[in-house]
Structure 1
């Protein structure tokens, strides 16, 4: 017995799939899974148009607001508008174009929703974490942060924030994509919100060296550097005064804005048979400049020590 040809299968299957009634001689509008084919095509058109409008609205808001309110406020506003456009477009397509009964569809998809929820727990967890991060504002765009549980443990700048992941760029230029759930469960250091960063440099010194002379040289170098607090000048001084007026920083400083608390210190950290180790401690405003400032200070200190005939260990 011959097997049925593809054409015969298609003739048998087509009436069911496309709602064709051969007996009555009437050909109804073709449907797919009970949805009118033309409505489905129109819905796909509405969906494509909605996505395009959402992206265009996002780009326009960023272009208009980036320079006026900053990247942080611009990104939040653009994302909000984008989600609103997507929600309105998809809602219109489902309710007005497809004319689906939402109550019946919700009931029929209940079991499917449960299965999907179990299979996508990580996605849901990251989504909820993204909402929490956005609500409590523990980090924001352009913030410099450090994830203490991260082995690399380098300060990184927040360059993008989405509902399920956050994109960072570290001081080496690497792009790091972090799930939002990791930001909630890990300990974060937010250098931008803290306003200032204390830097500590170990400085070994032979016991035969005159410690007072060395300390005076180091202190003069620190006081002369234009990015070491509190003796900053120009734009750095303006940025410092602006930061000190922020309410959150006043709370951290117990409402004390005396710059004297940021004066550099030189402490004896360790003494051995061969040398003493000093701890040079000072404050800077931007963590991204920390490594460059440390290098400049150490180079200047070494040059001045060598001019005095002192060679550190």
Structure 2
């Protein structure tokens, strides 16, 4: 009586193929476990970005190494023969996946040059392409941003490299502009005095009129990253709250109030409080005013 051979899948015995699938699942689990364990070891000792990338590299080493070893010993996988058999198919796949390759290369450049890092506040592209966002994750192909509205933006790494990126966390400052429109008959000196007084009363707005305020602003430009960008020290008077006449139209004078803040995520709250207080004080003095923030 002739004994039949075990069922084959592409010349591979069925039991060997099932064992390979179980090994695949096992190495995926081990890769994720290695990532989490390394993150626990490194978190708090190195920067979040370094911990993440170290964990990700270890994860891929475990998964890819495990899959290759399983394929070689269970499926008799021959890497040289596989590479030689790719031929034209490999070229077609490479061309069709050019966008993926671009994003992977961009991810490597982001890791090396570090134009953005985890937990930094940035704007990508011309405003308001993304608006003010925090960097939540950087993978090999995608950067995940979270806007002030809570929404997540999945952006290809190639877009980060190719686009204009404004990094507010590196600069440490964010400008808020408020437009005030008052009648031409209004006391402009009084309006200016009120607008500056409200700015000076908010501790979250940068003040340069005293030594403590100047020291706080100067310390931002003494950070190592900022020192590499400029050899001269900035004129700190530029970051003093200021009021400028923007235009005069149809009996109204438009003023622009410029203030700078360090608490970047609180931008909207600071602007809202400032507007409310300016309107309250000017209306108490019976000065008609129209206002908006940007």
TM-score range with shorter-chain normalisation?
0.7 to 0.9
Matched, 1:288 2:265: yes
* Structure 2 contact 182–287 (Cα < 8 Å) conserved: no
Matched, 1:174 2:145: no
Superposition pairs of residues 1-313 of structure 1, within 5 angstroms = 25=2, 27-28=4-5, 31-69=8-46, 71-149=48-126, 152-230=129-207, 243-256=220-233, 259-313=236-290
Please name the residue that 1:9 is paired with: none
* Structure 2 contact 208–239 (Cα < 8 Å) conserved: no
Shift of 1:110: 2.8
Shift of 1:241: 7.4
SS in 2 for 1:86: helix
Structure 1 window deviating more from structure 2 (144-153 vs 299-308): it is 144-153
Shift of 1:179: 1.8
* Structure 1 contact 230–260 (Cα < 8 Å) conserved: no
Distance 1:253 1:152 in 2: 28
> Residues 160-201 of structure 1, C-alpha deviation per residue, up to 9 Å, x if partnerless?
221121221111111221122222222222221222112222
Distance 1:219 1:161 in 2: 41
Shift of 1:294: 0.9
SS in 2 for 1:276: strand
Distance 1:296 1:159 in 2: 28
Structure 1 window deviating more from structure 2 (79-88 vs 49-58): it is 79-88
Q: Call closer, same or farther: CA 1:113–1:35 in 2, change over 3 Å.
A: same
Structure 1 window deviating more from structure 2 (74-83 vs 208-217): it is 74-83
SS in 1 for 2:260: strand
Q: Which has the larger radius of gyration?
A: 1
SS in 1 for 2:50: helix
* Structure 1 contact 250–257 (Cα < 8 Å) conserved: no
* Structure 2 contact 183–253 (Cα < 8 Å) conserved: yes
TM-score by length of 1: 0.80
* Structure 1 contact 223–231 (Cα < 8 Å) conserved: no
Distance 1:290 1:154 in 2: 12
Q: Call closer, same or farther: CA 1:182–1:115 in 2, change over 3 Å.
A: same
Listed as ranges, the gaps of 5+ residues in structure 2 are none
SS in 2 for 1:199: strand
Shift of 1:44: 2.2
Aligned length: 288
Listed as ranges, the gaps of 5+ residues in structure 1 are 1-21
Q: Call closer, same or farther: CA 1:186–1:196 in 2, change over 3 Å.
A: same
Distance 1:205 1:253 in 2: 39
4+ aligned runs moved over 6 Å, structure 1: 236-242
Distance 2:60 2:218 in 1: 37
